[in-house]
Structure formats: structure tokens, C-alpha cells
Amino acid sequence: MSEEAEAALAAIFRTEWPRLVGAALRIVGDLQTAEDIVQETLLAAVDRWPLLGVPERPGAWLLTVCRNRARNLVRDTGRAQQRTLSLRPLLAGQAPADGEVREIADDQLRLIAMCCHPLLPTDAQVALTLRMVAGLTTEEIARGFHQGAATIAQRLVRAKRTLKEHRVAFADDDPDVAGRLPSILDVIYLVFNEGYLATTGGQLTRGDLAAEGHRLACLLTELTPDQPETWALRALLSFQLSRWDTRTSADGVLLTLDAQDRSRWNRELIDDGVHALARARNGARGPLLLQAELACCHATAPAFAATDWAAILALYDELQAIQDTPVVALNRAVAVAMASGPAAALPLLDKLTGDPALRHGHRVWAVRADLHHRLGDGVAALADYARALDLVSNDVERRYLADARQRAADQYRSRA
């Protein structure tokens, strides 16, 4: 089997995984049992397909095996009678008929909502979503977050136990599913961000996590096509992911927007972002939509010099009016510097370096160092670069900052 065929197979399994978990969960009602059944289903495919060939409709085959296994389990444990009502629609058909498509979609959405239940802390929501919806193993999740497998395993066990103890049911009429959408979006964004800008380690990006985040966002738009916010998240992630390959040079050096080769940006993802953004504009102008609009300004500018900084600043003004956080203020200050020059932005940065949420991170110092440098204040620039270097935890960013400081130091030394 070629690498291409393996990738195609992995794509099928990835797509089917949350459908299978949802279908199993609908029958057995317990997250751990559903996970076991889905694993067993994949293993059945690994046992049989190499000998019998890949079935014509692999998704239908997997769903049938999964449901049969779940039904057998329920029957074996003597719970069949209690479940008759929920089983009735499933007993009729083997493969998913057209009428079942909506039900399968609903199952997946309920599964995501269950994983993002407010009873669970955010890190548990993230881990559970990655395991149950994305199908990542404990080890893969641990690797993605640079944590021990035992820590993640414990987190998953605790999360499942919490849901069980609180009798969080996988019910058709769960009224909270729609209400949980904001936390679902948060979890997916968190997964993507952890992958997109790794907070620690030697790699700037952690491809698998970012790709999973983007995939989950796409899945969510399929499941909730009438929710503009989900389209906004998809647009935002598509735009950001379109630059994936150009964010570092071949030798691992961080490349900022002005240094990236725009001809290598992924056009397909940008087009997807533009399409998703159009759908998102049907809703209210919330934080996600505004961030997607900002990402669109960058992604669709033909060159760095052609970036519409006035439009970007206007969007940041709008964003800050509804989400006045230090991070938004910092990004807005950068837009001010680009639209009106570094001198206009410096007072904003001076204020932000005192912000408790920012002063312990490297970004605010790095931005101010750049502004001082552009204004020709070498002493202040070098001092801020030094502070940023003390605080940065990602090796690629550290290298970028060290190079920037060195360039600034060389420049001032030659002037002196």
C-alpha cells in the first residue's frame, strides 16, 4: 500500500471516527464504552480489509460494524429492553440511508458538546475533544502539548468519570447543545493555537494539532451550517493555516509577514476562508468574525506594502470596543504603528508594558523594542530586546529575537 493510499485511508478513518463514537454513544450511552467499540471497529477493519479488500463504501461498513458491536454489547449486558426505543430506528437499516445523515450529524455535534461540558475544566475539554472527536491517542495528545502521557491519561479518565458521576447523558433532547457552542469554539481555537504557535519547544509550529483544530472547525460548520460564528472560526483558521509553510525559513528562522513568500501561501485555504467569511457575515459582528476579517485583510493583500492598515486599524477599534483585552490592545498598537508610524504607537506600548497580563510575556517587549529601534533609540531598543529574550519560551522565536537584537546592536555600534 502506497503512502498515498495510507493517507487516504487515514482521512477516511479520521472522518468516520466522530461519527462512529457518536453512533456508539447513542446506543451504549457511555463514553468509555463507546470509545472501546470504535477502537474495536477500526481493529476489525485492520483485520479484514487487507485480506478481503477495502469495501466499496468504507464509511457504511464501519458504521454497520460499530452499531452491531454496540447493539450486541447492550444485548449481552441485559439492557436491551431499556434501550428498545433508541434502538428502533437503528435496527431497520445496515448502512446509513439519506434520512440518517442528519441523525449522524446530530450525534457528532452532541458528542462535541458532551466533550466540552461545563463540568469539565478547559484542559480536560481539550483532551477529551481530541480523543473522542479527533481520534488522537493519549500519546499523540501528550506529544502535541509537550506533556507526559500519564498526565493526559489521568485527565481523560477523570473527565470521563466526572461525566459519568454527574450522569451527563447523550440525550436527543439535550437543550444545552446550542448553548455550548461558544465553549466548543473556544476549545477548537485553543487546539489550533497550541498547534499554530507552540508555546514551548524547538519547533514554532506543531502541525498535527493545528490541522486537527482546522479539521474540527470544518466539521463544526458541516454540523451547524446555520451558525455564523462557526463559519467565522473556520474562516479565521483557514486564513491562518494558509501561511503555514512560509512562517519559517528552510533553516528554521521565524519569518514575519513582510518576509514571507506570498506566492507560497495556500490559495485553496484562502479561498475557503473567503467563502467561510461570506457565510459568517450573515451573523453579528462578534470577536471571531472581526478576527477573521483581520486575517482576511492580510491573506488577500497582494504584497506586504499593499496591506490596508487603515482598514485593519478600524477593525481593531471595533474589536477593542467589544473585547477590550490586553492582547487586542497590543495588536491594535501594532496596527497604529503601521498605519500612523512608530511614534504614534509608543505611548500605547508604554502603557501596555505595565499590564500584569502582558508584562510577563515576551511579546509586548519585543514590539516595543522594534518601535524604539525604528525610532532610532538604540539604548531603549536593546534593553527591551533583552527583556523579551528573558521571557520567550519558544526556541524559534528566541532565535528571531536574538537576531533582531544583534542587528540593532551592530547598527548602533557602527553609528557610534
Partner 1 sequence: MNEFLLLGTRPPTSGETSPARAAHDMAAVTAWHRWLRRWGLLRAFSLPQDRAAELRACLIVWASGLAAAQRLGAGWGRVTGYQVTVLPLLDGSAGKERER
Q: Is 9 in the site for partner 1 (CB under 8 A)?
A: yes
* Strand segments (E) across 318-410: none
CB of 8 or CB of 380, closer to partner 1: 8
Please state, as a whole number, how many other Cβ atoms lie within 10 Å of the Cβ of residue 36: 16
Distance CA 398, CA 362 (A): 10
Q: How far is the CB of 413 from partner 1 (least distance, A)?
A: 51
**Which residues in the 118-157 window bind partner 1 by CB under 8 A?**
135-140
CB atoms within 10 A of CB 134: 23
> Hunting for cell 485480506 — which residue is that?
51
Among 46, 157, 253, 344, binds partner 1 (CB under 8 A): 46
**Nearest CB to partner 1, comparing residues 7 and 321:** 7
Q: Does 72 bind partner 1 (CB under 8 A)?
A: yes
Q: Nearer Cβ to partner 1, position 141 or 235? A: 141
CA distances from 197 to 124, 136, 393 (A): 20, 19, 11
Backbone angles phi, psi at 264, to 5 degrees: -95, 0
278/280 Cα distance (integer angstroms): 5
Instruction: Indicate whether 95 belongs to the interface with partner 1 (CB under 8 A).
Output: no
| Three-state secondary structure call for residue 116 | coil
Q: Which one of residues 14, 285, 359, 398 is an interface residue with partner 1 (CB under 8 A)?
A: 14
- Please report how close the Cβ of residue 173 comes to partner 1 at its closest, in angstroms: 30
d(CA 180, CA 169): 15
Shortest Cβ distance from residue 149 to partner 1 (Å)?
10
CB 352 within 8 A of CB 330: yes
Task: Pull the grid cell for residue 101.
Answer: 445523515
**To the nearest whole angstrom, how small is the minimum distance from the Cβ of residue 105 to partner 1?**
19
CB of 28 within 8 A of CB of 70?
yes
CA 367 to chain CA mean position, Å = 25
Number of residues that bind partner 1 (CB under 8 A): 33
CA–CA distance from 292 to each of 105, 188, 298 (Å)? Answer: 25, 15, 10
Residue among 61 and 265 whose Cβ is closer to partner 1: 61
> What binding mask, one character per residue, do residues 49-68 give for partner 1 by CB under 8 A, x or -?
xxxx------------x---
Shortest reach from residue 15's CB to partner 1, in Å: 8
Instruction: Name the nearest CA neighbour of 255 among 204, 183, 316, 196.
Output: 204
Position 79 contacts partner 1 (CB under 8 A): no
Among 27, 28, 45, 70, binds partner 1 (CB under 8 A): 45
Binding residue for partner 1, selected from 33, 48, 100, 412, defined by CB under 8 A? 48
Closest to partner 1 by CB, 14 or 79? 14
226 sits near partner 1 (criterion: CB under 8 A) = no
* Residue 1 interacts with partner 1 (CB under 8 A): yes or no: yes
Task: Please report, as ranges, the residues that interact with partner 1 according to CB under 8 A.
Answer: 1, 5-7, 9-10, 12-14, 16-17, 39-40, 42-52, 65, 69, 72, 135-140
